[in-house]
Amino acid sequence: METDNSTQVTEFILLGLTQSQDVQLLIFVLVSVFYLTILPGNILIILTIRSDPGLTAPLYFFLGNLAFLDASYSFIVTPRMLMDFLSEKKIISYRSCITQLFFLHFVGAGEMFLLVVMSFDRYIAICRPLHYSTLMNPRVCYILLLALWLGGFAHSIVQVALILHLPFCGPNELDNFFCDVPQVIKLACTNTFVVELLMVFNSGLLSLLCFLGLLSSYAIILCHVKGHSSEGKNKAISTCITHVIIVFLMFGPAIFIYTRPFCTLPADKVVSLFHTVIFPLMNPVIYTFRNQEVKASMRKTLSQLVVL
């Protein structure tokens, strides 16, 4: 699309992951196989937790919501990315780009806050077991769920509001396979220093603070269980290790992308691929593999589905 200084950009061209057709085909096949294999697993987790009356504890309630958020997150980027692999020219309208960016940060921030809620749940369960049923009753769980959705919405609205005020008059090539804040800001035909700084504080600093807070909370939990019995200690350690793995998978790429000045690095696209496509679908699976109750219930649910 031709633009000049008086023309408002109405669409962007996505440059994608690579210009090599062979590499694109390989990535298309690998991502398709992964997506079509892992996504049904996340759906199975949701169905299992909703249908099994034995999985009503807050931990499973939040795990089901994590699977839902991760599946939703993968829908924002992956299907379009796979279709773009089959297109010579990858074009996305300005409105579609802003919409994709909004939902990406809406769901992503919601998941980030959900991990904080899950760490709070584990802290109460392990460090304050006598008060657990009172502090984490169903009403509190739903209030926390509403709060994290509102938090994600507020975070995303700020992102979008800052971008909507920027003028885009060309060029219109986004050096990525989806619309995200760092790449979109670079295309604005004005000085974006203040906007970049606000983005770093809104996304990067928030991610970093949550990351450090989560690691600190799990460190406190591990210190607390030192004097427990071997069985209780092993179970708590196993739970904490699982949560810490997810924290690194979720926050590591986010911190890499959003906490530094918006300069381009060779690893940006690879990190974005793992952050938006691979890790979201893996998170609930990692939880499930380390939880015997959920695995047993999933096998039962799967056998019932096969019979039907």
- Residue 308's pLDDT is 56
- Domains of the chain: total: 1
- Residue 137's pLDDT is 93
- Residue 121's pLDDT is 92
2 assigned to some structural domain? no
150 assigned to some structural domain? yes
32 assigned to some structural domain? yes
- Residue 227's pLDDT is 67
What confidence tens digit (pLDDT) does each residue in 35-54 have? 888 888 888 888 888 888 88
> Tens digit of pLDDT per residue, the chain (308 long)?
444 444 588 899 998 888 888 888 898 998 998 888 888 888 888 888 888 888 888 988 998 999 899 889 888 999 999 988 888 788 999 999 999 999 999 999 999 999 999 999 989 988 888 889 899 999 999 999 999 999 999 999 998 998 998 899 878 888 889 998 888 988 998 888 888 888 888 888 889 999 999 999 988 888 888 766 666 677 778 778 888 888 888 899 999 888 876 677 778 888 988 888 888 878 777 877 777 788 888 888 777 776 65
296 assigned to some structural domain? yes
Q: List all residues 6 or more positions away from 24 whose beta carbon is below 8 Å from its beta carbon.
A: 16, 17, 18, 85
pTM of the model: 0.88
How many CA atoms, within 13 angstroms, populate the side-chain half-sphere of residue 54? Answer: 10
Q: List all residues 6 or more positions away from 248 whose beta carbon is below 8 Å from its beta carbon.
A: none
189 assigned to some structural domain? yes
3 assigned to some structural domain? no
Residues 112, 119: Cα–Cα separation, whole Å? 11
* Cβ-contact 127, 224 below 8 angstroms: yes
Two tokens, residue 205? 């600093």
Average predicted confidence (pLDDT) for the chain:
86
CATH number, domain with residue 119: 1.20.1070.10
Long-range contacts formed by 64-68: CB under 8 A, 24+ apart: 65/114, 65/145, 66/111, 66/114, 66/115, 66/118, 66/283, 66/284, 66/287, 67/42, 67/43, 67/284
6 assigned to some structural domain? no
Which structural domain, as residue segments, surrounds residue 147? 11-307
221 assigned to some structural domain? yes
